[in-house]
Amino acid sequence: MVNYPNMKKSQPIIHENYNEKHYTTHRGMSLEEDISMSNQYYLANDKAVIYKKPTPVQIVKVDYPKREAAKIVEAYYKTPSTTDYNGIYRGKYVDFEAKETRAMTFPFSNISKHQIDHLARIIKHGGIAFVIIAFTKIGEVYLLDASYMVDEYYHATRQSMTYDTIKSLGHLIPQGYQPRLDYLKVLDMFYFKEGNK
């Protein structure tokens, strides 16, 4: 069972690369770390090539100290125009966003309109698009096809999706030691109908 303790959105330590050190102790892994480790596992086992995109940063000022690496001394976080993750699995383009929520609903304020529109575009162009949602209170992580979220985002009267809705429309992601979050297994079962590879 997963317990994602860190819900701060503007965490100063950014983990954008799968081979970085983990800064958490004990079981205090974030959803992002679990996905990164799963992606690392998939890559090492030649199952898929999926990466988290680097955090977009607007660089304003760079110093060039002599005989040292260029040092960025003024920069700001930018709003991403796409999702965090994309790559290729079984020959298909895969694109997704991953979000944690402590509540038993997923508020749409948690995802940007840019990201919703991006996911809708990916579906239209024939890619596999989804959202991974971790309910941190109960330790369950779901894979929800992006079409449902796009639809609810634009047409639902409420500004969130409930746990029950996500549970019924989405698929529980199996958790384990390696990979930690086996979301490709869900793709095998529900997107590649002919079964597991």
Interface residues with a copy of itself (CB under 8 A) are 10, 12-14, 16-19, 43, 46, 48-49, 51, 53-57, 59, 61-62, 64, 69-78, 80-82, 86-93, 95, 118, 121-122, 124-127
Q: CB of residue 57 vs a copy of itself: minimum separation in angstroms? A: 5
CB of 11 to a copy of itself, least distance (A): 9
To a copy of itself, the closest distance from the beta carbon of 158 in angstroms equals 29
State the greatest distance between any 2 C-alpha atoms of the chain, in Å, as a whole number: 59
Q: By C-beta, is 54 or 139 nearer to a copy of itself?
A: 54
CB of residue 137 to a copy of itself, shortest distance in Å: 27
Q: Which is nearer to a copy of itself, 74 or 151 (CB)?
A: 74
Q: Which is nearer to a copy of itself, 14 or 103 (CB)?
A: 14
